[in-house]
Structure 1
Amino acid sequence: MRLNRAPCAWTAWCAASWKTAASRSPKRQDTAGGTATVSTAAITPTTRTTRKRRRGPTWPRRSSSWLRVQGLVQCATLRERNLLADVCAHLERQRAAGARRRDLLRLVAASLRAAGHDAAVCVSRWGKFPSHPAGEHAYLDVLLPAASDRGAHERVLVDVDFRSAFEVARPTKAYRALLQQLPAVFVGKDDRLRLLVAAAADAARASLKKRGLHLPPWRKPEYMRAKWLSPYDREVAPPDEAAAAEVHGEGTAAA
């Protein structure tokens, strides 16, 4: 005896889905007059559009050199900050008059002396070494009065074009950010300058290495330190200026 079996639910659902898809498929007229089914994928391929996520500006990662420089750029004492303000004021005035670099240093030193500071132009010179060539560098120094009766004068270094000394070719974003942190005019003692030069020189080496460039000898830490920490000659004030300062000091003491 043969039993009539009803189709299972899965088979019925598959058949209904196939019929629905076939009825919705586009038709085209055949050359023989019949109709043929055209695949939808052949006409309009399915493309999945993804919406890009908007992000904010990407900032360079702060390296250890960046953090070291960030803690060394500010003046250490109130006297250094006041001296920095005086130097920037005289520097802006002399640059507006069109003075050149070496003349600019002498003019700023004369203006600082007229304001009562013991300032002078210093020229450091160093010989040739296996790691870097010989050279010389001009900057200012100011001898501040002793903080106490038994103390000695404080020698403060002043460089009016400090930031440009660390420029390199094809800098990375991280090094450009560090370069902007360096002061354009440096005023401070030699111990802070030594640490600042070391941090900036290490960052310059890392930037050049990432770009695949060779570190030039004039950007090595030894060469950069030699600019300000080598033996130097301190120019004395002109005789007429020294005589005027002496007369001014005697007049102040008599008053």
Structure 2
Amino acid sequence: MGSLEEDELVRMVRDFIESESPSPTNSSSSNCLALSHRTQYLILQDVLTGETSSEAKVLKHVLKHMKGRRDTKRSTSLRNWLVKNLKIDGLRASLCQTSWSTSLGCPAGEYEFIEVINEGENGRTERLIVDIDFRSQFELARPTQYYREMIDSVPVIFVGNEDRLCKIISLLCTAAKQSLKQKGLHVPPWRTTSYMQSKWLSGSRKELENPRNDYTGSAEIGNWVPPMVKPRKMDLPSASSALSCQFSNMSLNCCNV
């Protein structure tokens, strides 16, 4: 690739990133339609590697606890367990759930992820989204080769702010639409940009109370200690029950005669 072509590509990448808006209602899919597959891939890599220092710090804590759990089912219990460990590390983490109603062809749904509120150097708070099953949300059943290359570059565990997340969603949803059309498949409503943005950026978001933690896949939880059981007092038979036993034995002896 010549230097002029490289400069042009870098300019396109920067223009795309700077033109993106974190607003969930502002879809920028049209900005990506004219981009080639290679350009889309390079822009995605630029966004994925453009993490801030605060994002890198939180990701380090998450990976520390999730090490060796790639094949573990990403359940509510595992997310809750991770939240507890992040709190032990001193992070303001919470388990969140978004929900949204059907609107403009976008079906209703709900989603669950972890939220970390980070204090910036300027005193402003920053909302970071932690998703331990991020890549699977964008996978297709019959992807084209170029879309598979894009998905393979997406991390399984994502930590990022809303701005960076919006850019990733816009790129992947546009690429998914192109992939489905090339395969002659219909684009389902749950693959649209608005639906995918609703998963993490819906205005209807609530913090879940910590459920009972039944995840036992880590030694960090601690050794289980059985509860103390008080010995029961042995009840002595009363005179009436002893007499009943004698009558029962007599009945049995009579029947055996």
The AA in structure 1 aligned to 2:202 is: S
Give me the whole-angstrom Cα distance separating, in 2, the residues matched to 1:82 and 1:204.
Answer: 31
What aligned pairs does 1:97-176 form with structure 2 within 5 A after superposition? 100-148=74-122, 151-176=123-148
Q: How much is the aligned-residue C-alpha RMSD, in angstroms?
A: 1.9
Structure 2 runs not aligned, ≥5 long = 1-35, 212-257
Q: Which one has a bigger Cα radius of gyration?
A: 1
Report the Cα offset of residue 77 of structure 1. Answer: 1.4
Within the alignment, does 1:80 sit opposite 2:55 as a pair?
yes
Match of 1:190 in 2: 162
Match of 1:90 in 2: 65
Match of 1:9 in 2: none
Match of 2:16 in 1: none
Contact 1:75 1:187 in 2 (8 A): no
Give me the whole-angstrom Cα distance separating, in 2, the residues matched to 1:208 and 1:103.
Answer: 34
Contact 1:127 1:134 in 2 (8 A): yes
Give me the whole-angstrom Cα distance separating, in 1, the residues matched to 2:76 and 2:168.
Answer: 24
Within the alignment, does 1:71 sit opposite 2:71 as a pair?
no
Give me the whole-angstrom Cα distance separating, in 2, the residues matched to 1:93 and 1:235.
Answer: 26
The AA in structure 1 aligned to 2:53 is: L
The AA in structure 1 aligned to 2:103 is: F
Contact 1:95 1:104 in 2 (8 A): no
Name the SS of the counterpart of 2:61 in structure 1.
Answer: helix
Higher relative contact order, structure no. (Cα contacts within 8 Å, ≥ 6 residues apart): 2
Label 1:100 to 1:156 Cα distance change in 2 as closer, same or farther (>3 A).
Answer: closer
The AA in structure 1 aligned to 2:184 is: G
Size of the aligned set, in residue pairs, is 175
The percent identity for this pair of structures is 36
Contact 1:142 1:158 in 2 (8 A): yes
Give me the whole-angstrom Cα distance separating, in 2, the residues matched to 1:171 and 1:91.
Answer: 28
Contact 1:141 1:156 in 2 (8 A): yes
The AA in structure 1 aligned to 2:149 is: A
Within the alignment, does 1:205 sit opposite 2:177 as a pair?
yes
TM-score normalised over the length of structure 1: 0.64
Structure 1 runs not aligned, ≥5 long = 1-60, 239-255
What aligned pairs does 1:27-42 form with structure 2 within 5 A after superposition? none
Match of 1:243 in 2: none
Report the Cα offset of residue 94 of structure 1. Answer: 6.1
Match of 1:251 in 2: none
Name the SS of the counterpart of 1:147 in structure 2.
Answer: coil
Report the Cα offset of residue 100 of structure 1. Answer: 4.8
CA deviations over 1:172-231 (Å, ceiling 9, x no partner): 110010111112111110011011100000000000000101111111111111101102
TM-score normalised over the length of structure 2: 0.64
Label 1:73 to 1:84 Cα distance change in 2 as closer, same or farther (>3 A).
Answer: same
Report the Cα offset of residue 64 of structure 1. Answer: 3.1
